[in-house]
């Protein structure tokens, strides 16, 4: 995020958590959908990355992506009930504070959202949110909170003086 007054540029990164995408057996359609959605909503997507499923893989990717970064990291995939769906566990391993209101709002956007174990939280100057791996689901869940994310990021950077 820029420190210039009036400059509302927000930066985002997208992390796809998927064994299938890593091994080339699936296209990264959800990562592409998130990136397009973020760009359409005023975010500059400065990085897209893919990691294999699993707690350690997700934690390592999120740690690297959030180091020295101020903005949003939206992950897609690994939030369900399958044994390798460990994105929430990897996220919890790196966040400093949870943001349960974001995760709750994301789950409420659709009845299938109740099957998401995704979490949201803060690490340094970064907000991390987990969205499901389906193209439709990840966009719907991020859409449920996109309106409050700019304000949340400004609060995190202590640049919002409106309250």
Q: CA 22 → CA 14, 50, 78, 117, distances in Å?
A: 15, 7, 13, 22
Residue carrying structure tokens 């101020």: 70
Confidence class of residue 159 from pLDDT cuts 50, 70 and 90? low
Which pLDDT score, from 0 to 100, does residue 3 have? 43
How many angstroms separate the CA atoms of 84 and 23, rounded? 15
| pTM of the predicted structure, to 2 decimals | 0.92
Q: Where are the beta strands (DSSP E) in the chain?
A: 10-17, 43-51, 71-76, 97-98, 120-123, 126-131
Q: Is the pLDDT of residue 82 over 80?
A: yes
For the segment 34-46, the average pLDDT, to the nearest whole number, is: 98
Q: Which CATH superfamily is domain 10-152 in?
A: MoaB/Mog-like domain (3.40.980.10)
For the segment 40-59, the average pLDDT, to the nearest whole number, is: 98
pLDDT tens for 86-143 read 999 999 999 999 999 999 999 999 899 999 999 999 999 999 999 999 999 999 999 9
How many angstroms separate the CA atoms of 159 and 5, rounded? 10
Q: Is residue 104 helix, strand or coil?
A: helix
Q: Are 45 and 37 in contact (CB under 8 A)?
A: no
For the segment 54-80, the average pLDDT, to the nearest whole number, is: 98
Which pLDDT score, from 0 to 100, does residue 133 have? 96
Q: What is the DSSP letter of 80?
A: S
Which pLDDT score, from 0 to 100, does residue 9 have? 79
Concatenated DSSP letters for 41-54?
TTEEEEEEEEE-SS
Q: Is the pLDDT of residue 1 over 60?
A: no
For the segment 28-45, the average pLDDT, to the nearest whole number, is: 98
Q: How far apart are the first and last CA of the chain?
A: 20
């Amino acid at each position: 995020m820029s420190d210039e007054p009036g400059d509302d540029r927000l930066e985002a990164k997208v992390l796809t958590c998927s064994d299938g995408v890593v091994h080339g057996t699936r296209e990264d359609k959800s990562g592409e959908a998130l990136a397009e959605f973020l760009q359409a909503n005023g975010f500059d997507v400065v990085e897209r990355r893919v990691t294999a499923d699993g707690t350690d893989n997700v934690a390592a990717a999120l740690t690297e992506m959030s180091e020295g970064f101020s903005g949003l990291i939206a992950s897609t995939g690994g939030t369900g009930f399958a044994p390798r769906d460990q994105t929430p566990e990897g996220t919890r391993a790196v966040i400093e504070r949870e943001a349960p209101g974001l995760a709750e709002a994301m789950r409420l956007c659709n009845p299938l959202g109740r099957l998401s174990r995704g979490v949201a939280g803060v690490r340094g100057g970064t907000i991390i949110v987990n969205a499901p791996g389906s193209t439709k689901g990840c966009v719907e869940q991020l859409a449920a909170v996109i309106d409050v994310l700019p304000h949340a990021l400004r609060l995190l950077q202590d640049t919002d003086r409106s309250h």
